[in-house]
């Protein structure tokens, strides 16, 4: 038996996040931006945040360049914790890309995303922190 029981049937955020991943993978930045609130914050790397549509879009352009326009983003296990119109998503996020020398590379992060439910029932991302709790660096 697993350490914790499976969560109930898939939360709508599973599909939302999968669609956002596809938009990032496709480098369709117009589509990517539709997943964020206007005043969202993206943790580009620990200590460097991008806030608002313009900064986040530029960050994604820089990220695409950084990964040689080959980044593929997917999610593994994903847990959604809803508190009213706010949801914390804890996810295993997988990054795959091709290095400049042609070698394949990959990384897995334990990420945290905060989504807000909108008036029409859709969910938008307010805080995108793919570094999860690694932002506090101490060993525990």
What x/- string results for residues 105 through 134 when contact with a copy of itself is judged by CB under 8 A?
Answer: ---xxxxx-x-x--------xxx-x--xx-
d(CA 91, CA 52): 23
* Interacting residue with a copy of itself among 34, 68, 86, 122 (CB under 8 A): 86
The residue among 48 and 102 lying less far from a copy of itself, judged by its C-beta, is: 48
Contact between 82 and a copy of itself (CB under 8 A)?
yes
Q: How many CB atoms lie within 10 A of CB 67?
A: 18
CB-based contact 43:131 (threshold 8 Å): yes
* Interacting residue with a copy of itself among 51, 99, 118, 122 (CB under 8 A): 51
Coil, strand, or helix at residue 118? coil
d(CA 4, CA 66): 37
Q: For 53-93, give the DSSP string.
A: HHHHHHHHHHHHHHTTT--EEEEEEEEEEEETTEEEEEEEE
* Number of residues binding to a copy of itself, judged by CB under 8 A: 49
Query: What is the smallest separation between the CB atom of 47 and a copy of itself, expressed in angstroms?
Result: 3
Query: What is the smallest separation between the CB atom of 8 and a copy of itself, expressed in angstroms?
Result: 11
Q: Is 133 left (phi over 0), alpha (psi -120 to 50) or beta?
A: alpha
Contact between 34 and a copy of itself (CB under 8 A)?
no
Note the residues at the interface with a copy of itself (CB under 8 A).
2-5, 7, 37-41, 43, 45-49, 51, 76-79, 81-84, 86-88, 90-92, 108-112, 114, 116, 125-127, 129, 132-133, 135-138, 140
């Amino acid at each position: 038996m697993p350490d914790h029981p499976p969560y109930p049937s898939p939360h709508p955020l599973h599909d939302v996040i999968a669609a956002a991943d596809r938009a990032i993978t496709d480098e369709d930045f117009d589509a990517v931006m539709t997943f964020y609130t206007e005043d969202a914050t993206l943790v580009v790397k620990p200590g460097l945040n991008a806030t608002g549509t313009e900064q986040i879009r530029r960050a994604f352009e820089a990220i695409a360049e950084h990964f040689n326009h080959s980044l593929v983003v997917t999610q593994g296990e994903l847990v959604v914790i809803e508190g009213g119109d706010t949801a914390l998503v804890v996810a295993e996020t997988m990054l795959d890309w091709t290095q400049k020398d042609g070698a394949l590379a990959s990384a897995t992060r334990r990420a945290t995303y905060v989504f807000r439910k909108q008036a029409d029932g859709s969910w938008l991302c307010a805080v995108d922190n793919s570094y999860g709790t690694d932002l506090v660096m101490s060993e525990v």
